[in-house]
Amino acid sequence: MTWRPLPPEGGSADPRPLAVSLSRLAADLGTPPPRILGHVFGHWEEIVGADVAAHARPLSLRHGTLTVGADQPAWAAQLQFLSGHLLARLEEVTGSTEISRVTVKVVRP
């Protein structure tokens, strides 16, 4: 028995741009497009400021929920309290409403 790939969707075997494939894979996994992930994870300090970034970092982004890890319970409580402001800032920076919820948990560095 010889392995054969599945027939292509849409009937075309032409190569697709990597961005198209990554966006489709991200959607299948419940994550937003790579562009949004890049903004959030690559520009975290610019989004939240140096003081917050020193104590908290994004951990995951799935199904519209950004999970943030804070290094101390006080920072976690503060970030959860300010989650509405954080969502507004994320929308401003990413230009998208894909992120609709923020959860915060305490993680040790």
CATH number of the domain within which 102 lies: 3.30.300.180
Q: How confident is the model over 18-77, as pLDDT tens digits?
A: 777 777 777 787 777 778 888 899 999 999 999 999 999 999 998 999 999 999 999 999
The verdict on residue 22 lying in a domain is: no
DSSP bridge pairs for 58 = 68
Q: How confident is the model over 68-102, as pLDDT tens digits?
A: 999 999 999 999 999 999 999 999 999 999 999 99
The verdict on residue 68 lying in a domain is: yes
Q: Who wins on pLDDT, 7 or 38?
A: 38
Q: Which residue has the tokens 């075997």?
A: 13
What phi and psi, each to the nearest 5 degrees, are found at residue 35?
A: -60, -40
The verdict on residue 89 lying in a domain is: yes
Q: How many CA atoms within 13 Å lie on the side-chain side of 96?
A: 13
Task: Tell me the pTM.
Answer: 0.75
